[in-house]
């Protein structure tokens, strides 16, 4: 069975990063769930721990501070704990304090025009993409074509959506509207973060159909010997 070099590299990177598909991380995420591998990966790496009831709740949204915490942990960004708060609605005693301050200090987010962070607001699609991609250090793309009515080429969120489309971080809406103010669901959070990490490692669009199971690893490694790496310039 033929595998492209990009697909093989993606599988190897996934293996080296310790992705395990041997067990379900949460009882409400079965192995048949479309985002099972992404959710399981983030859990086994310690980036997510689920809700207080021990479940993941993939169909629910999450708050701005919850996503900020997960994005910073996934990206490996060290927390900064300042003596004063950077947002008037995030007290220094709040668990969100260090995450909000760190995100702002690293240029990941700036807050709302009124100076607030609104930590308990449900994060929207465009807010979430900005937080995730900025945390991962994604090199945003220029936008020359308007694909959705609510995403003009000059909108600040357009490059983030274009990055998601170009690098296959998630399925794109088929309607005329992207839904920029839709709630960003937990399942999509796992999908975009997981795929974003793989893209960061390979520099290539995510191959959604690759199999990173251990059963497939031996044949994948064997395929490495058949590639003419000189022709790739590696």
Nearest to 125 by CA among 58, 172, 78: 172
At residue 230, does pLDDT exceed 80?
A: no
What band does 168 get if pLDDT is binned at 50, 70 and 90?
very high
Residue 38: C-alpha distances to residues 92, 128, 135, 216 (Å):
33, 17, 18, 18
At residue 148, does pLDDT exceed 60?
A: yes
Find out whether 181 and 124 touch, Cβ atoms under 8 Å: yes
Span 110-128, pLDDT tens digits: 999 999 999 999 999 999 9
Between 54 and 18, the higher pLDDT residue: 54
Between 7 and 36, the higher pLDDT residue: 36
Please give the residue range of the domain that contains residue 211: 5-232
The confidence score (pLDDT) of residue 79 equals 96
Q: How many domains does the chain have?
A: 1
The confidence score (pLDDT) of residue 182 equals 98
78/113 Cα distance (integer angstroms): 26
The confidence score (pLDDT) of residue 225 equals 56
At residue 146, does pLDDT exceed 90?
A: yes
Span 47-67, pLDDT tens digits: 998 888 889 999 999 999 999
What band does 223 get if pLDDT is binned at 50, 70 and 90?
low
Start-end of H helices in 76-176: 97-105, 125-136, 158-166
At residue 140, does pLDDT exceed 60?
A: yes
The residue-averaged pLDDT of 172-198 equals 98
pTM of the model as a whole: 0.80
């Amino acid at each position: 069975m033929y595998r492209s070099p990009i697909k093989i590299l993606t599988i190897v990177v996934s293996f080296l990063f310790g992705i395990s598909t041997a067990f379900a991380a949460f009882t409400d995420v079965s192995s048949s769930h479309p985002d099972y591998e992404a959710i399981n990966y983030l859990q086994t790496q310690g980036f997510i721990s689920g809700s207080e009831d021990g479940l993941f709740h993939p169909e629910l949204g999450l708050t701005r501070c919850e996503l900020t915490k997960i994005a910073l942990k996934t990206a490996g960004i060290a927390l900064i704990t300042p003596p004063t708060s950077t947002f008037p609605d995030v007290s220094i005693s709040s668990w969100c304090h260090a995450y909000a301050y760190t995100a702002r200090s690293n240029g990941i987010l700036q807050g709302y025009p009124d100076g607030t962070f609104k930590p308990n607001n449900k994060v929207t699609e465009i807010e979430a993409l900005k937080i995730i991609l900025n945390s991962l250090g994604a090199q945003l793309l220029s936008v020359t074509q308007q694909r959705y009515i609510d995403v003009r080429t000059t909108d600040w969120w357009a490059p983030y959506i274009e990055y998601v489309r170009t690098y296959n971080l998630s399925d794109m809406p088929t309607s005329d509207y992207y839904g920029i103010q839709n709630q960003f669901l937990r399942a999509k959070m796992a999908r975009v973060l997981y795929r974003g990490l793989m893209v960061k490692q390979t520099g290539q669009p995510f191959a959604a159909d690759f199999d990173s199971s251990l059963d497939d690893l031996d044949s994948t490694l064997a395929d490495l010997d058949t590639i003419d790496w000189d022709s790739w310039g590696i």
